[in-house]
Amino acid sequence: MRKLVLPEKGAEILFDVRDENVRLLESLFDVKISARGSQVTIEGQPQDVDSVEQIFVDFGNLVEEGVEFSNGDLRDALRQIAQRSAQGLRDLFPKKIVVRTPLREVVPRSNNQVAYLERIEQLDLVFGIGPAGTGKTYLAVAMALSRLLNKSVGRIILARPAVEAGERLGFLPGDMQEKVNPYLRPLYDALYDMLDAEKVQKFIERGVIEIAPLAFMRGRTLSNAFIILDEAQNATAEQMKMFLTRIGINSKAVVTGDVTQIDLPAGQESGLVESIRILKGISEIGFCYFDHRDVVRHRLVQLIVQAYEKA
């Protein structure tokens, strides 16, 4: 039997209305947990009690540091610790970094996401490489908006290769904006999640935010801007070199992609893969790698990514 005391706020969060978190811990670690106020008693095999005690200690410390938990996030974290996908809550709820946007505060939820934001802050060119759902694009858009609104940059440029149509979009109906919108929709979605729709539209109309296919970057110098190239695994080698040499004075660029989902024709090397190989020795360029532990979508996405990694 082990006894410990949680901070009052931590006890309220952990022992929610239906004690779901506690019941989950009991089932995952084969222990019996009871509480009287903030005092918690844990009974079970020593190894299991040690594991649960460490969870409680980390949890109490994180609460006192101001980390906010949603029940869904906490339950997913407990399962990962039980499955040995994470060592402890500290791995899954790292030190608090907040990126403030008008509609929400964006907080990294893994150590890799923290490192990603830190490198974006420190360096002018950062690559975010990893599977779907790891927050690569979302966090980059949050950083871009934050820097735009505090006037660190004068505009945001968001680009994607329109690879499915070979960047020859004439056969699609509508004007040019309507032709490319299907390929750029995920970038719009991230913006609308953080900024009022009317404000997004005004910024786009004024050219403060530009969302365009990668091919439209050719011949330009992108100065005083936060530039994001998304889905970069579908850029050709020529397009990637073209994009990287567009970066101008007082600009910051983030390149995101998943090297396991390349849609280029067979035999054509991804520009992202080539650029990683060529640029990895340059210390002023940051490379951040994500895996299934960083997935922040539905828990099934994490399991799917993990299964593909094993295969």
Position 70 scores a pLDDT of 66
Q: How confident is the model at residue 83 (pLDDT cuts 50, 70, 90)?
A: confident
The yes-or-no verdict on residue 56 having pLDDT over 60 is yes
Q: State how far the alpha carbon of 238 is from the alpha carbons of 215, 242, 272, 280, 282, in Å.
A: 11, 6, 11, 18, 20
| Three-state secondary structure string covering the chain | CEEEECCHHHHHHHCCCCCHHHHHHHHHHCCEEEEECCEEEEECCHHHHHHHHHHHHHHHHHHHCCCCCCHHHHHHHHHHHHCCCCCCHHHHCCCCCCEECCCCEECCCCHHHHHHHHHHHHCCEEEEECCCCCCHHHHHHHHHHHHHHCCCCCEEEEEECCHHHCCCCCCCCCCHHHHHHHHHHHHHHHHHHHCCHHHHHHHHHHCCEEEEEHHHHCCCCECCEEEEECCHHHCEHHHHHHHHCCECCCCEEEEEECCCCCCCCCCCCEHHHHHHHHHCCCCCEEEEECCHHHCCCCHHHHHHHHHHHHC
Among candidates 67, 48, 49, 56, which has minimal Cα distance to 21?
56
Please provide the average confidence, as pLDDT, over all residues in the chain: 85
Of 112-126, 192-206, 257-271, 289-303, the one with minimum mean pLDDT is 289-303
Q: How confident is the model at residue 165 (pLDDT cuts 50, 70, 90)?
A: very low
Most confident residue range from 17-21, 100-104, 175-179: 100-104
Calculate Rg over the CA atoms of the chain: 22
The tens digit of pLDDT for each residue in 190-249 reads 899 999 999 999 999 999 999 888 988 999 999 999 999 999 999 999 999 999 999 999
Q: State how far the alpha carbon of 217 is from the alpha carbons of 41, 45, 205, 287, 304, in Å.
A: 61, 62, 18, 23, 35
* β 2-5/39-43 pair status: antiparallel
12 vs 230, residue with greater confidence: 230
The answer to whether residues 122 and 219 touch, using CB atoms and an 8 Å cutoff, is no
Could you give the percent of the chain with pLDDT greater than 70?
89
Position 169 scores a pLDDT of 46
The answer to whether residues 81 and 293 touch, using CB atoms and an 8 Å cutoff, is no
Of 10-14, 101-105, 279-283, the one with minimum mean pLDDT is 10-14
Q: How confident is the model at residue 176 (pLDDT cuts 50, 70, 90)?
A: low
Could you give the percent of the chain with pLDDT greater than 90?
45
